[in-house]
Amino acid sequence: MDSKQAGRELELNRQLREVALANDGVLSLEILFRLGLSWTMVQKRKDAGRLLPILRGSFALPGTRLSFRGRLRAATASVSPNVVVSHGSALALHGLIRDPGPVHLTGESGTFRDHGSGRWENDAFNLKVIRHETRQLPPEHITELDGIRATTAERAIRDFAATARPDEVTKALTQGEKERKLCWNELRAISDASNGHKGIGILRSEIDDWDPVFADTISDPEIDFLRMIRRERMPKPLVNHRIGRHIPDFLWKHLCLAVELDPYGTHSGKASHRRDHRKGIELETSGLRVVRFTWEDRYLHEERTASELWTVMRQQATLLQCPLFPTDGNGPQW
């Protein structure tokens, strides 16, 4: 190889690294051709181990570890431009849930017909693709995030509800409201137009029962505990409402009652234990009764926990000679 050819090779390698970095480690065939590689050059690099195939039409450089976005880019590079990221993958891309694992793709009926024999898994890159076909995927249900075509947050939640648990739908709705990424009118319109769609009953129920107080939570255990309170039709609490210099997880002002959660059942250390102990004392001295529930209480003994909380609430109402449910407008209502 003469020096001129070697120089071109070095420049091409630099460009490949630069473009791969900008595309989350993924080099599609379209990108490779745009950089001047021919199909023969691609094959030679592949045979030499200098280009690693991910799925049909997508490659990575040696040493690449695909991120969540990288797996989405690799998946979409292997299909037609009419296919979009959907379901939980789209929700994770919008930032409403955590990375759900497999990449979900959706296209209109027949979209994947020419890809039936393609490879849809690659263990080396921890990548699995799940394909969905739909009768309708209107343009208003599609958006683009960082160059990745995906369903809108509203359409993604509808599709996600087909396989998600009710609490997972609640958490997606809650995060969507926190991030201001949900248009509730659009979500209801999509829901209303989805008769017969799998999971639509769960979605409609969660939309109807969702309450703005969920947006005040700061953790999944808080959402799960609030769901229990709502399901039991207990008095509605304030969530993460400041009292002096402390913020109890749940507060019923009219009952002078605060509930604190220990989500993991253990403390992270002596300093954390001391802070929680001191917080409890100071809340108590402010006139509140403080009850603490652990992870095990919520997730392993929910029925017992609900019964105990009801008992505490009734005790407080009797002690303070006040109604169990506020009637003077001084407390939130479901």
- Which residues belong to CATH 3.30.460 in the chain? 66-210
Q: Is 319 exposed, middle or buried (0-12, 13-18, 19+ CB in 10 A)?
A: exposed
Residue 266 is predicted with a pLDDT of 46
Beta strands 257-262 and 289-294, pairing class: parallel
DSSP 166-232: HHHHHHHHHHHHHTT---HHHHHHHHHT-TT-TTHHHHHHHHHH--GGGGG--SHHHHHHHHHHHHT
Is 289 strand, coil or helix?
Answer: strand
Task: Return the CATH number of 66-210, one of 3.40.50, 1.10.3470, 3.30.460, 3.90.550.
Answer: 3.30.460
Q: Is the Cβ–Cβ distance between 280 and 262 less than 8 Å?
A: no
CA 146 to chain centre: 17
pTM exceeds 0.85 for this model: yes
* Residues in the chain, overall count: 334
Q: Is the Cβ–Cβ distance between 106 and 87 less than 8 Å?
A: yes
Residue 116 is predicted with a pLDDT of 56
Task: Give bridge partners of residue 309 from the DSSP assignment.
Answer: none
Residue 269 is predicted with a pLDDT of 59
Single-letter amino acid code for the residue at 306: A
C-alpha closest to that of 232 among 329, 95, 324: 324
**CATH architecture of the domain formed by 213-320:** 3-Layer(aba) Sandwich (3.40)
- Which residues belong to CATH 3.40.960.10 in the chain? 213-320
Beta strands 52-53 and 58-60, pairing class: antiparallel
Residue range 210-232, pLDDT digits in tens: 999 999 999 999 999 999 999 99
Residue 115 is predicted with a pLDDT of 60
| Angle at CA of residue 215, ends 211 and 221, nearest 5° | 100
Residue 327 is predicted with a pLDDT of 79
Residue 8 is predicted with a pLDDT of 82
Residue whose pair of structure tokens reads 């450089």 in the numeric block: 61
> CA 289 to CA 216: how far, in whole Å?
21
Is 127 strand, coil or helix?
Answer: strand
Stretches where the chain sits below pLDDT 50 are 117, 265-267
Q: Is 247 exposed, middle or buried (0-12, 13-18, 19+ CB in 10 A)?
A: middle
C-alpha closest to that of 207 among 160, 140, 239: 160
